[in-house]
Amino acid sequence: MSTYELSRASYDLSKRYLAGGVASSLRAAMKPVPLFAESAQGAIVRDVDGNEYVDYLLAYGPLILGHAYGPVNEKVYAAMQCGITFGLQHKGEIELAKLLTEVLPCADKAVLSGSGTEAVMLALRLARAYTGRSKIIRFHGHYHGWSDSIYTSFPSADMPSASASASAEREHAVPPGTAGQSELSLRDVILLPWNDAAALEAALDEHEGEIAAVISEPVMCNSGCILPRPGYLELMREATASRGIVLILDEVITGFRLGLGGAHGRFGIKPDLVTVGKAMGGGFAVSGVAGRAELMALIENGTVSHLGTLNGNCVATAAALATIGELAKDDGAAYVKMEKNASKLTVGLRELLGKHGIRGVINGIGPVFHFMFTEQSVVEDFASFNLRDSAKYALFAERMLDAGVLVRTNGLWYVSAAHGDAEIEATLRAADRVLGGLQ
């Protein structure tokens, strides 16, 4: 049995000074206690009690090369010797923006920000300014950051199921994600079921001439890692293009994780705008918006403001250039390795479910997947995702921690290029023991 004594003591101390004891609300959910990290290297993280874990949390996604990756750190140190940030222009910004336009198929031009939340805020602003319309369509179960204009709670399992005849009243009843959020900020948001072509077309018809943008994760990574049904993203692309609506694909998770070209490169869909973050910087604070020249021109001609004291700072640009450079090396060998290892894990976990007679589903693509316990045999929309047994999974996650594997409490696993055979095998051995005790 691991002890978490020092993590518990640190959490108590933290709560005296840091409101909530954690720096991002979600982290408080971790059981038996929000862990305090001491150090990390590669795929392994060590906590303050000296326990070591194979890490599949990966800082909620960014650590695509693993922890403290030497070649990236060296480039970041070297950049820091020349100045950390200037508030002036520097060549790192040009190199990074150029690289984004080269690897992201939809990108004529790019801009840089500090977080996924900010990137989404800018993309929505560009869409509204470009179209002169104000309404935004977004989908149940997706997450686009915590800004007032898009943050809404995930509805519960008893959410009304997908319906093409959704009433305007229900569409507008978008619940705020938190107290303190002006309800007016969500007035222009229309919330629809995802992976439901009829619901999308009905809403587009009903609101003809009013919709500025449709924003969507290309894979519903935030709720079950659910893939788009065949033809769904293509329909989304066509239906928005024919109505002059801006299509924003939020690739903050999928960008640089599903390949250098993100999900839109992988699926061959060209959105008008794409938001990227997380894996792009390998753990450093950097994000971007990229897309069609006509939209990005609104920034060039001063119509749309894009601001941020630390935007494009030397640390962020060096980290992103080095991370993307490593991912591109040897024809994307890192992706081949990650996909192979993610597949070993998912195949192994499915076998273990069978061996222990536990019903579950694993949805995933490339080096990201969602593992859930459910009686459903397929989970392909938000309503079926909500039927999973989250309490059982939380118990599994807690026991996996005790067995030396760090997984997120909600079931989303990330694999990095630092994970190798030894880590995968250790993980499957741990899962075998833990699943054996769960029946």
Q: Please give the positions annotated as active site.
A: 143, 250, 278
Q: Can residue 171 be called a binding residue for ligand PMP (CB under 6 A)?
A: no
Q: Can residue 123 be called a binding residue for ligand PMP (CB under 6 A)?
A: no
Q: How far apart are CA 103 and CA 256, in angstroms?
A: 9
Q: Can residue 252 be called a binding residue for ligand PMP (CB under 6 A)?
A: yes
Find tokens 């021109």 and name the residue. Answer: 297
Residue 194 C-alpha from the chain's centroid? 16
Give the count of alpha carbons within 13 A of 51, CB side only: 22
- What is 109-177 written as a DSSP string? EEEEESSHHHHHHHHHHHHHHHHS--EEEEETT----S-TTT-BPPP-TTPPPP-TT--HHHHH---BS
Candidate list 222, 313, 323, 416; residue touching ligand PMP; CB under 6 A: 222
Q: Can residue 124 be called a binding residue for ligand PMP (CB under 6 A)?
A: no
Show the binding pattern over residues 175-214: x = contacts ligand PMP (CB under 6 A), - = does not: ----------------------------------------
Strand partners, 44: 41, 54
Judged by beta carbon, residue 212 or residue 253, the one nearer ligand PMP is 253
Q: Which of 377, 380, 348, 345 is nearest to 361 (CA)?
A: 377
Residue 187 Cβ, how far from ligand PMP at the closest point, in Å? 21
Candidate list 47, 250, 380, 381; residue touching ligand PMP; CB under 6 A: 250
Q: Can residue 335 be called a binding residue for ligand PMP (CB under 6 A)?
A: no
Neighbours of 30 (CB within 10 A): 20
Q: Can residue 281 be called a binding residue for ligand PMP (CB under 6 A)?
A: no
Residue 8 Cβ, how far from ligand PMP at the closest point, in Å? 27
Q: Closest residue (Cβ) to ligand PMP?
A: 116
Q: Can residue 113 be called a binding residue for ligand PMP (CB under 6 A)?
A: no
What are the structure tokens assigned to 30, written together? 């971790």
Q: Can residue 408 be called a binding residue for ligand PMP (CB under 6 A)?
A: no
Torsion 425-422-406-412 (CA) sign: negative
Q: How far apart are CA 72 and CA 54, in angstroms?
A: 21
Judged by beta carbon, residue 144 or residue 270, the one nearer ligand PMP is 144
Q: Which of 255, 252, 289, 253 is nearest to 272 (CA)?
A: 289
Residue 286 Cβ, how far from ligand PMP at the closest point, in Å? 10
Candidate list 217, 272, 326, 380; residue touching ligand PMP; CB under 6 A: 217
Site stretch for ligand PMP (CB under 6 A), options 66-74, 245-253, 260-268, 310-318 = 245-253
Where are the strands (E) in 355-395, listed by range? 360-365, 368-373
> Does the bond joining 228 to the residue before it have cis omega, within 30 degrees of 0?
no
Candidate list 115, 195, 311, 323; residue touching ligand PMP; CB under 6 A: 115
Candidate list 58, 226, 253, 349; residue touching ligand PMP; CB under 6 A: 253
Judged by beta carbon, residue 262 or residue 277, the one nearer ligand PMP is 277
Site stretch for ligand PMP (CB under 6 A), options 63-71, 167-175, 248-256, 429-437 = 248-256
Q: Can residue 280 be called a binding residue for ligand PMP (CB under 6 A)?
A: no
Q: Are 417 and 371 in contact (CB under 8 A)?
A: no
Judged by beta carbon, residue 220 or residue 430, the one nearer ligand PMP is 220
Judged by beta carbon, residue 112 or residue 353, the one nearer ligand PMP is 112
Q: Can residue 143 be called a binding residue for ligand PMP (CB under 6 A)?
A: yes
**CB neighbour class for 164 (10 Å; exposed up to 12, middle 13-18, buried from 19):** middle
3-state secondary structure of 19: coil
Judged by beta carbon, residue 55 or residue 217, the one nearer ligand PMP is 217
Judged by beta carbon, residue 42 or residue 62, the one nearer ligand PMP is 62
Q: Can residue 145 be called a binding residue for ligand PMP (CB under 6 A)?
A: yes
For residue 90, the 8-state DSSP code is -
Q: In what order do the strands lie in the sheet with 405-406?
A: 37-41, 44-47, 52-55, 405-406
Judged by beta carbon, residue 188 or residue 217, the one nearer ligand PMP is 217
What residues make contact with ligand PMP under the rule CB under 6 A? 60, 115-117, 120, 143-145, 217, 222, 250, 252-253, 277
